[in-house]
Structure 1
Amino acid sequence: MNFKEIENNSRIREIGSIYRRLDNSDWRIEVKLDPRQKKESFSISQLTALARRRVLNAVDNHNPAGYKSSITIGDTTQWEHRQIGECPITSVAKQGDRHQWSFCFESNDIVYYLPQIELARVLFFHYAYLSRLAMIPGGLSEEFDIQENEAEKYAKVNILPTSSLPKYVRESLELRRLLAWVLLDKDARRSFESISSYQLKEGSDVGNYRRWSFRFDPPVLNHVSLKLCGHFDRDRRAFFVYEIHDVKNLVHTGPEQIEFFDPGFRTPMSAKGVGAESNPRSAEQPLIDDEELPKNEGKDLIFQLPSINFSFSNPTYTTRTGMGNRLSSRTPDTSEAEESQNLEKLEFSTDERTIRGQLPSAVFNVLEDHSDDLHHYIHRFEAFAEMVEVLQDKGCVILESAIKKLPAMAGFSKFLMTDGNPRCLAFRLLRIRGQNFVLLEVDTSDSKTKLSTLLLKQPSTDFDWKKELYLLEKLLVKSSLVWPKKYLDEIFPSHYDRIPHPRTNSFNKTFLEPHSIRRWADRLYSYLN
């Protein structure tokens, strides 16, 4: 990521107070860089990218600064609010941001000083929209209407027509799951809304500005594990945190199933001969202009940031629904090729889109969700699983069984269902009469696409299924859910078959009558002989 008006290899030394002009609602945050330079603040929309000792506009290779540490949190209600200047590490206590707030707690006989804005950055500030909303009292209620059914562990989140929630957040499973946690986990929401409460209570008006030392109440975070890097003083047994890299075992105490109702969403219905829309483009060289706003049109450019690895111990299942269907169409953008060739000359804004904006829009890609959520998708393959059970009754032995997500690929969309959830593939390695076969079934219940069950005969005893199946999955995504015949002819010559499915109910494509399942199994079994 390269920011305008910043020298190459600039390292973030200090992160100070948040402020705004009294006649303006746009908040900024004080940031001191090394080497010292004219630019000393960033828009609050850049919080996603701002961590102490991180290098901006890097030309050389830079390893993450600081000593690495891993901790498991006990009880955040016992954490103390202390200013950074109280840290026993002398060089830290003398910094210019010593009046900013940190959390102080002990773990493994080491006293940790965790800057509060760093924890909030990792938990909440993954995009400009939430960074701004956190500063507004009652902001969540103005954007979302929630209908919760506690008995069924279900909630419907209505995205209000006036909401400015970005399109890429609505489409992203990871960002949507994190937003659901903020909205529906009572403790997480209390923590998020404490940000604006502290701002109202402790912010002060000085001259033409309102200034505030960032502060909030943390979520409980019992048994959550963090991977950190920072300044460790062995003699004083003190650790000052620069950056959090991993958040593991986060708990969601809200509903298990969450439906986001998006009034602007239409389920796409692919037209014949029309390609799927591609994902936002990626780039490395364009500049981020921190002073300007993005236009309310065009695609988002993606800036890759050092990832924050997230995982929930009980990940929610979210869906996105809307008003009916729309015909999907995509016409070539004649300016796209020319624009791609000149990306290094362009400037982008990572703030929220607005009709007043002048620059193309860009977003930060930072969150990697490693939650174990495959159990949410097992129900999509109930009929397939029942058919395999019939094969077992006929003498087939199941050697391996798995459900996998199709690989995410930039420029292609079919690895996702239309509601934004991952498209999955069911895998069965089976043996009959000394010969191994693989069955592959892909979930296409969200569209009219019909993809037959694929039967593959193992071509050799030392065949690497893991490697070849991954390549097959990528080709499947690239071909918009068509089994790649050229690849199959090359790797499985005369050793593969595509077996059509029985007819399904148009309203529930995952359900089959028992007699249909038996006929499906009989037809497939005939190919094993």
Structure 2
Amino acid sequence: MRFKSRFSTSKATIPKRNHRPNNNQDASKKASDKVSTNEPGSDGDIPSADIGGGIQDHTDHSEEYASRFTAFNMMVQMLEEKYACTIIDSYTHELEQVGRSKCHLIDSGAKRTIRCVVVERNGHVNYLLEIDVTGLSKWISTKCVRQKDTHNWKEQFSRIKKGVVTKSLGWPTQEMDAMFGFKKHIGISHPKSVEGHPMGIPTESILDWAARVSGKL
């Protein structure tokens, strides 16, 4: 493809967070603002630029919002320790606005989040999904998605995140039926919450929760 006239492009650059800081490493350097429209430059030094729009943010906020999923993360840890599960991956994404809905926000104005943990058990890959219920008086069931073909998961997860907001913080059941098949995604209820408890769920109830989740994997 050729252009009739010359032009330049630029991108906003933010230093990448290092989850394992090393005191011997040099300070993060700001990336160059010179980019190509699609392919790297002829010398291989200029990175390509994404000139598309409307793409969901896939940034992992696991560390930033870890306190919102304390009980869930403890349950996942028990899956590893007591039920021979292997955690392949995990990440936390912010929910984005859909239409005029404000369900993606909590009372403080901060974004609500959703957490995904990829679990393998007996050779089968499963996705455990947990919706952030900060400030709500109700629990939303943990969702287990049984997935044979994982190639389209990134797109499917984006559709689920959008559907959760569209459903006013509920699982988009019909859309998930269409994506995965009937009974290929299962809701697993939480233990009963205790008012005033720091985590909302008693620690002794988390083991029972893990047992019920493992039975669906």
Assess same fold via TM > 0.5: yes
Q: Could you say which residue in structure 2 is the equivalent of 1:527?
A: 216
Select which of 461, 464, 469 maps to 2:152.
Answer: 464
Q: How does 1:16-35 map to 2 (within 5 A)?
A: none
Q: Secondary structure at the match of 1:392?
A: helix
Query: How far does the alpha carbon of each residue in 1:187-206 deviate from its partner, in whole angstroms, 9 at most, with x for none?
Result: xxxxxxxxxxxxxxxxxxxx
Q: Does 1:484 align with 2:172?
A: yes
CA distance in 1, matches of 2:192, 2:10: 56
Shift of 1:526: 1.8
Q: Counterpart amino acid of 2:138?
A: T
1:516 to 183, 200, 205: 205
Query: 2:109 — aligned with what?
Result: 420
Matched, 1:453 2:154: no
Q: Is the 8 A contact 1:427 1:441 kept in 2?
A: yes
Q: Which amino acid aligns with 1:421?
A: A
Q: Does residue 501 in structure 1 map to residue 190 in structure 2?
A: yes
TM-superposed deviation, 1:488: 2.0
Secondary structure of the 1:421 match is coil
CA distance in 2, matches of 1:380, 1:441: 10
> How far apart are the structure 1 equivalents of 2:10 and 2:211?
57
SS class of match (1:375): coil
Map 1:113-132; keep pairs closer than 5 Å. Answer: none
CA contact (8 A) 1:442 1:451 kept: yes
How far 1:409 moved relative to its partner? 2.6
Q: Distance in 2 between matches of 1:495 and 1:69?
A: 41
Task: Report the Cα distance in structure 2 between the residues aligned to 1:67 and 1:463, rounded to whole angstroms.
Answer: 32
Partner of 1:395: 84
Q: Is the CA contact 1:387–1:517 (under 8 Å) kept in the aligned structure 2?
A: yes
Aligned partners of 1:434, 1:226: CA distance in 2, in Å?
A: 41
Deviation at 1:403, TM superposition (A): 1.1
1:375 aligned partner, one-letter code: E
Higher normalized contact order (CA 8 Å, seq sep 6+, divided by chain length) = 2
CA deviation map 1:258-287 (0-9, x unaligned): xxxxxxxxxxxxxxxxxxxxxxxxxxxxxx
- Aligned partner of 1:381 in structure 2 is 69
Residue of structure 2 in register with 1:336 after alignment: none
Describe how 1:98-497 pairs up with structure 2 within 5 A.
Answer: 374-393=62-81, 394-458=83-147, 460-492=148-180, 493-497=182-186
Deviation, structure 1 residue 498: 0.5
* Alpha-carbon distance, 1:372 to partner: 7.9
- Structure 2, unmatched stretches of 5+, are 1-6, 14-27, 35-58
Shift, 1:507, TM fit? 3.2
In 2, Cα distance between the equivalents of 1:483 and 1:372? 21
| Count of aligned residue pairs for this structure pair | 175
- CA deviation string 1:56-93 (max 9, x = no partner): xxxxxxxxx9896999xxxxxxxxxxxxxxxxxxxxxx
What is the one-letter code of the residue matched to 2:173? K
In the superposition, relative to structure 1, how do residues 384 and 373 fare at CA in structure 2: closer, same or farther (>3 Å)? Answer: closer
After TM superposition, give the deviation of residue 413 of structure 1 in Å.
Answer: 0.8
Secondary structure of 1:401's partner? Answer: strand
AA at the equivalent of 2:161: E
Per-residue CA deviation, residues 91-147 of structure 1 (Å, 9 max, x unaligned), is xxxxxxxxxxxxxxxxxxxxxxxxxxxxxxxxxxxxxxxxxxxxxxxxxxxxxxxxx
- AA partner of residue 78 (structure 2): V
Task: Give the fraction of aligned pairs with identical amino acids, expressed as a percent.
Answer: 25
Shift of 1:450: 2.5
Would the aligned equivalents of 2:95 and 2:165 in 1 still touch at CA under 8 Å?
A: yes
Whole-Å separation in 2 of the counterparts to 1:411 and 1:417: 15
Whole-Å separation in 2 of the counterparts to 1:432 and 1:379:
26
More strand by share: 1
2:87 and 2:10 mapped to 1: Cα distance?
Answer: 44
**Residue of structure 1 equivalent to 2:52:** none
From the superposition, tell whether residues 480 and 228 of structure 1 become closer, same or farther in structure 2 (CA, over 3 Å): same
8 A Cα contact 1:445 1:510, kept in partner: no
Distance 1:484 1:504 in 2: 24
| Alpha-carbon distance change, 373 to 495 in structure 1, aligned in 2, over 3 angstroms | closer
Counterpart-to-counterpart distance in 1, 2:153 and 2:124 = 15
Measure the CA separation in 2 of the matches of 1:434 and 1:67: 46
Residues 415 and 509 of structure 1: is their aligned pair in 2 closer, same or farther, counting only changes over 3 Å? farther
C-alpha contact (below 8 Å) 2:101/2:165 kept by paired residues: yes
Q: Quick one: which amino acid aligns to residue 474 of structure 1?
A: K
2:144 maps to amino acid: L
Output the CA distance in 2 between the equivalents of 1:69 and 1:407: 22
**Contact 1:70 / 1:227 at 8 angstroms: preserved in 2?**
no
TM-score, normalised via structure 1 length: 0.30
| Contact 2:91/2:115 (<8 A) preserved | yes
Secondary structure at 2:125's aligned position in 1?
strand
| Counterpart-to-counterpart distance in 1, 2:11 and 2:154 | 34
Find the aligned partners of 1:392 and 1:411 in 2 and give their Cα distance: 40
Q: Is the 8 A contact 1:70 1:225 kept in 2?
A: no
Which sections of structure 1, spanning at least 5 residues, go unmatched?
1-64, 72-222, 230-370
